């Protein structure tokens, strides 16, 4: 199954074409990565998939249904969740409260799913009751991921999930993302850390100047960069 697909996506900012007819598939049970230099169009593509930007042409489909006109919150409800590079964690809420808010915005609203997500990300101890404002970046990134996961998404869009993490935290993140993929979730990751992409991704798409210029397994695509 390929729950999320982009077809011929084109985005222009005035005269400038930021995305130029991009086709992309985000299949279930796989980790798909998008890499490329600054300005290649990765964020623009991400926004089109997440529903925070309407393309000028082309469409986004979820399970074969055209969701191009569907706003971000409705996509989250359908099961397309995302994380933010600028974390979307509420500072005055506790870790558990943040994750509960995430679950309420998602596909399923279920207290057991919240508990499972907290456990999966190692947030089930005393930290669950601390206000998010007091936590270090690595923990906040886990809260951000938990917030997106608690609603049981079919597709998870990750914007630079390893930014600001140390090596040990990246290793934990990699393990969690692999487990999610093994469970059938479709993951898309936009990531600057090419070592992580190499370790994690099943398929890599390299972008340049608004197009996908190479696609394939990491050893093939990353070695050619
Ligand atoms: P990446 O994420 O790969 O760095 P972006 O998608 O952010 O690339 O940007 C692609 C190109 O579009 C860049 O040249 C960027 O400056 C330009 N761009 C992005 N957003 C806007 C905007 N709102 N207005 C004008 N140009 C933009
Ligand atoms: P992020 O990866 O956090 O989205 P970006 O650098 O891609 O960061 O973009 C930050 C914001 O600035 C986005 O809203 C983007 O649309 C906007 N932006 C990026 N490049 C330009 C540009 N050349 N002109 C105007 N806005 C831009």
Ligand 2: which residue has its CA nearest to atom 13? Answer: 43
User: Measured in angstroms, how far is the CA atom of residue 51 from the centroid of ligand 2?
Assistant: 16
The model's pLDDT over 99-126, given as tens digits with 9 standing for 90+, comes to 999 999 999 988 999 999 999 999 999 9
DSSP collapsed to 3 states, 115-183: HHHHHHCCCCCHHHHCEHHHCCHHHHHHHHHHHHHCCCCCEEEEECCCCCCCHHHHHHHHHHHHHHHHC
| pLDDT per position as a tens digit, 154-169 | 999 999 999 889 999 9
User: Where does residue 64 rank: exposed (0-12), middle (13-18), buried (19+ CB within 10 A)?
Assistant: exposed
Residue nearest to atom 26 of ligand 2 (CA): 13
Ligand approaching nearest to the C-alpha of 18: 1
Residue 6, pLDDT score = 98
Where does the pLDDT of residue 200 fall: very low under 50, low under 70, confident under 90, or very high at 90 and above? very high
Tell how far the Cα of 159 is from the centroid of ligand 1, in angstroms: 15
Where does the pLDDT of residue 171 fall: very low under 50, low under 70, confident under 90, or very high at 90 and above? very high
Confidence band of 225 (pLDDT split at 50, 70, 90): confident
Share of the chain above pLDDT 70, in %: 100
| pLDDT value, residue 1 | 78
Residue 78 has pLDDT above 90, yes or no: yes
From the CA of 187, how far away is ligand 2's center (Å)?
23
Is residue 42 within 6 Å of ligand 1 at its C-beta? yes
Nearest CA to ligand 1 atom 12: 18
Closest CA to 100 of 84, 116, 87: 116
CB distance 76 to 22 below 8 Å: no
Residue scoring higher pLDDT (87 or 146): 146
173, 143, 126, 155: which is closest to 50 by C-alpha?
155
Highest-scoring range by mean pLDDT, 94-98, 132-136, 167-171: 94-98
38 lines ligand 1 (CB under 6 A): yes
Whether the per-residue pLDDT at 85 is higher than 90: the answer is no
Question: Using CA positions, which residue lies closest to atom 9 of ligand 2?
Answer: 43
Calculate mean pLDDT across residues 10-31. 98
Q: What is the pLDDT of residues 41-77, one digit of tens each?
A: 999 999 999 999 999 999 999 999 999 999 999 999 9
Q: Return mean pLDDT, the chain.
A: 95
The whole-number pLDDT of residue 224 equals: 84
Which of 19-28, 82-91, 92-101, 140-149 bottoms out in mean pLDDT, i.e. has the lowest?
82-91
CB of residue 44 inside a 6 A radius of ligand 2? no
Q: Whose CA is nearest to atom 19 of ligand 2?
A: 39
State residue 142's pLDDT score.
93
CA of 39 relative to ligand 2 center, distance in Å: 9
Tokens 């969740």 label which residue?
A: 81
* Ligand 2 binding pocket includes 83 (Cβ within 6 Å): no
Ligand nearest to the CA of 13: 1
């Amino acid at each position: 199954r390929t729950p999320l697909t982009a077809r011929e996506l084109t985005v222009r900012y005035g005269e400038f074409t930021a995305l130029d007819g991009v086709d992309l598939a985000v299949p279930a049970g796989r980790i798909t990565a998008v890499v490329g230099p600054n300005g290649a169009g990765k964020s623009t593509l991400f926004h089109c998939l997440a529903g925070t930007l309407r393309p000028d042409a082309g469409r986004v489909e979820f399970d074969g249904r055209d969701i191009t006109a569907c706003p971000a919150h409705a996509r989250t409800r359908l099961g397309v969740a995302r994380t933010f590079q600028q974390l979307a964690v509420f500072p005055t809420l506790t870790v558990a409260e943040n994750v509960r808010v995430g679950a309420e915005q998602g596909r399923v609203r279920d207290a057991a799913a919240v508990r499972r997500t907290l456990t999966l990300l190692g947030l089930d101890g005393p930290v669950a009751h601390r206000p998010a404002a007091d936590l270090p970046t690595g923990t906040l990134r886990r809260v951000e991921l938990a917030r997106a996961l608690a609603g049981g998404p079919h597709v998870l869009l990750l914007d630079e999930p390893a930014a600001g993490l140390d090596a040990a935290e990246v290793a934990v993140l990699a393990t969690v993302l692999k487990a999610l993929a093994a469970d059938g979730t479709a993951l898309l990751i936009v990531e600057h850390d090419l070592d992580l992409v190499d370790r994690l991704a099943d398929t890599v798409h390299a972008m340049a100047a608004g197009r996908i210029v190479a696609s394939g397994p990491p050893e093939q695509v990353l070695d050619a960069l």
